[in-house]
Amino acid sequence: MKTYTLTVFEKNGEKLLDETFEAASEEEAKKIGEQKLREKNCHEKTYRCTSSSGKLILFHR
């Protein structure tokens, strides 16, 4: 399992969420990240999800 980090920002740069989770694949990480964004009502905010190696998995601006 790889570690992924989901970070959500406000337009002024304030960090709203910085959460780490594990997933077996990038596809699973995308699904988990999108689910967490919906649960926390952050899917319209600026966000990114990166793997432990620095690869960008999800991004919205």
What pLDDT digit, counting tens, does each position of 39-51 carry?
999 999 999 999 9
Q: How far apart are CA 17 and CA 24, in angstroms?
A: 22
Percent helix, strand and coil across the chain, each to the nearest 5? 25, 45, 30
pTM of the full structure: 0.91
| 13 three-state secondary structure | coil
Q: How far is CA 59 from CA 21, 36, in A?
A: 16, 14
Confidence band of 59 (pLDDT split at 50, 70, 90): very high
Q: How far apart are CA 59 and CA 34, in angstroms?
A: 10
